Chains A and B, each alone.
Chain A
Amino acid sequence: MYKAFLIKYGEIGVKGKNRYIFEDALVKQIRYALKKIDGEFVVSKENGRIYATAKTEFDYDEAVEALKTVFGIIGICPVVQIEDHGFDDLADQVIKYIDMAYPDKNFTFKVNARRARKNYPMDSMQINMELGGRLLDAFPEMKVDVHKPEVLLQVEIRNVINIYSVEIPGPGGMPVGTAGKAMLLLSGGIDSPVAGYMVAKRGVQIEATYFHAPPYTSERAKQKVIDLAKLVAKYAGPIMLNVVNFTDIQLAIYEKCPHDELTIIMRRYMMKIAEALGEETKCTGLVTGESIGQVASQTMQSLYCTNEVCTMPVFRPVIGFDKQEIIDISEKIGTYETSIQPFEDCCTIFVAKHPVTKPNLGIIKRHEHNLDEVIDDLMKTAIESTEKILVHA
């Protein structure tokens, strides 16, 4: 029955002269999302709204699910489209629509007609009143409430007539591609995919870096990260995943630095490498899944130490979240099940029993000098031998 979707977008409506950039990005993302499902759609901008109109048969549920992954959309309204065959026919169609959409008629409503085609013989007020009357005749249980209706029935008279009343919430945010590019440090855990999702939600295009440490981490651990990137790409669009072989750096740190500082020093090099990879592709920020105090390397002192190596700003969208809050988001976006697969990543494999929780930057730096002879070469090799995988949803 539904033939089209009216897409409502929030914030981007107020972006002044840049508005068209945001709208075009949104149209592009909607097209990309709908391309993956059965059925053909035409996505168009019209008078400050976006329509996705089906040209063929399509799976309604699939289409709604796809639109729910497009950042920038705040509401998805499934629309019934009819040809104009006079007011009586319109009234019949509206009655049919209400009957189908609301099996239980015990609700308050208001008709809100809009006449974009001004040569229609009745004006908006007349249409409102007449349609309201016919609906009350057809379904006496329904009641009119013009101030706070439970159902707001929209009737738009254009070349075709659009009828809609349902609004399915979209994910909100901004269309991906409107806010630059950032490098996500993606581990196999729960937090980093959520961090990537949250930044992408604000319109940022995501690249990702994963640190692989064979033979200490397995092919399955790497595949898990690719799978996670795939899940985030559902929202963020295709993600370039950089797989860095980190084994030699990790072993060098292990050999030459105090073991209770392993994780901090390791993370400092991870940040450096991610920043270098990000610079190559014009990223202007790093994104991590760190949350204050969750583990030893995420105390304020530890974050201070790891942050110190980069000049790029580091964004930590889940910094103030409790673990459960992060888990809730990961379940909502569908990454949780994959994140909890039990493969060790390189952060857990060489972990000290009692890592420092209040590292002192001066001491850390002094110990890093133990690596002076080898580290430049190791970093260079790691960066140059990075495997790049373009991950599509």
Chain B
Amino acid sequence: MEAYLDNSATTRVNPEVVQVVTKVMLEDFGNPSSKHMKGFEAEQYIKETKAVIAKSLKCQEKEIVFTSGGTESNNMAIIGSALANQRKGKHVITTAVEHASVKEPFLYLEELGFRVTFLPVDHDGLVKLDALKEALDEDTILVSVMHVNNELGAVEPIEEIGHIVKIYNSDIVYHVDAIQSYGKFKIVPKKLGIDLLSVSGHKIHAPKGTGFIYIKEKTKIKPIILGGGQQEGMRSGTDNVPGIAGLGKAISLIYNEHFDEKINHLYDIKETMISELVEIEGVTINGKTGRDSAPHIISASFDNVRAEVLLHALEEKHIYVSSGSACSSNRPGLSSTLVASGVAQNLLDSTIRFSFCYETTKEEIMYTIGALKELLPVLRKFTRH
């Protein structure tokens, strides 16, 4: 049996998506910027995907800009809006638990002379709202918060944050990194006060190299990729038509009449796994559980076992999980999210993330639990001093 429980790292592309992508590559391969028929046909795919996204976010089609994925969307949101608004002020705010594709652009802004505040989080990984209220000042131009934390599955109070920010000063640009949440939550940016929203395709069964950024009408933002002026000049470069078409298909397969069923299934899976995990000796579940948390992520710490060793032991049984966040686990050092959320020092290096998708089955979960029960006693015999 195989159990792929690393869906927050990436997902398998849906076969229906593959069909669409293949068709575009082989038949409708035109460049949308071309004036002939082939270009026109290609353009239709982009329009269709925009319509699908607009429906899912209850926004306008012109508010969508396609990018190469989450990292680019986050870079554009943060750098692009800070540069466009720097005359109004040079203070920007984010949190201590952001993904590297948010954190690094903020560090870059710091180098450019911006003042950056990193908001602390509580032991569940949730942003402290009081800290936000304190941090806001007349110089603040940007607030960026992730919706779902990629390591803990914590759901940040993005609605309250939007409220606080917009009441303080409606000119402040509010960015939400929805890379782990889009496809799992119904997000309506307009209701939440969100100006910019980042989404990645490969986390929701679309190909890698796809994604988009939602830019609320009239938000001041500069493009960060310049060139031929595609997408109204907001993001130059020949449109990735096959990827965009696939992304549209993937989204339409999620945000349809079965959406609630799928989410219930995920919560169900998560609950089953947690109830089994807590029965095992020396297991700590990090962060909140249940409907207060993301439906597809569990962060669990295992006393006296090194996460990497457990990961490789599970791998031998064809169970694929992640230690920390996959995007950063090739870097040495401990997870700053886990540190910021106050995970006990001795468990930092012992934390595994399990992440699910709609196709994850209870059988896979029980198989994984069985493997853990078998492996943990053996691995615990051989701990490092």
Contact = CB atoms under 8 A, between A and B. Distances in A.
Interface of A: 214-219, 251, 254-255, 259, 342, 344, 349-353
B313 interface: yes
B382 A214 contact: no
B113 interface: no
A352 B385 CA distance: 6
A350 B312 contact: no
A381 B313 CA distance: 20
Nearest to A352: B385
Given A254-B382, A259-B385, A216 B332 contact: no
Interface of B is mostly: helix
A306 B40 CA distance: 73
Interface string B352-385: 0000000000000000000000000000011011
Given A215-B313, A216-B309, A342 B332 contact: yes
Contact of A214 (B310, B312, B330): B312
Interface in B202-242: none
A255 B384 contact: no
B315 A215 contact: yes
A259 B314 CA distance: 26
A216 B309 CA distance: 5
Closest 6 CB pairs of A and B: A215-B312, A215-B313, A353-B385, A342-B332, A218-B312, A216-B309
A266 B308 CA distance: 22
A214 B317 CA distance: 12
B134 interface: no
Given A215-B315, A215-B316, A342-B332, A255 B381 contact: yes
7 contacts: A215-B314, A215-B316, A216-B382, A219-B312, A251-B382, A349-B309, A353-B385
Contact of A216 (B312, B381, B385): B312
Nearest to B331: A342
Contacts of B382: 216, 251, 254-255, 350
Contacts of A259: 385
B384 A350 contact: yes
Given A255-B381, A351-B384, A352-B385, A215 B309 contact: yes
A254 B311 CA distance: 21
A374 to B, nearest CB: 15
Nearest to A255: B381
> Which of B309, B310, B311, B313 has most chain A Cβ within 10 Å?
B309
Nearest to B379: A215
Contacts of B312: 214-219
Most interface-central of A216, A219, A351 (chain B CB within 10 A): A216
B59 to A, nearest CB: 42
Contacts of B316: 214-215
Contacts of B330: 342
Interface string B114-125: 000000000000
Nearest to A353: B385
Contacts of A251: 381-382
Nearest to A217: B312
Given A216-B382, A344-B308, A353-B385, 13 more contacts: A214-B316, A215-B310, A215-B312, A216-B312, A218-B312, A219-B315, A254-B382, A255-B382, A342-B330, A349-B309, A350-B382, A351-B384, A351-B385
A169 B327 CA distance: 44
Contacts of B332: 342
B19 to A, nearest CB: 32
A259 B332 CA distance: 26
Contacts of A219: 312, 315
B292 to A, nearest CB: 34
A211 B77 CA distance: 47
Contacts of A255: 381-382
A219 B311 CA distance: 12
Nearest to B316: A215
Contacts of A353: 385
Contacts of A217: 312
Nearest to A221: B312
Contacts of A214: 312, 316
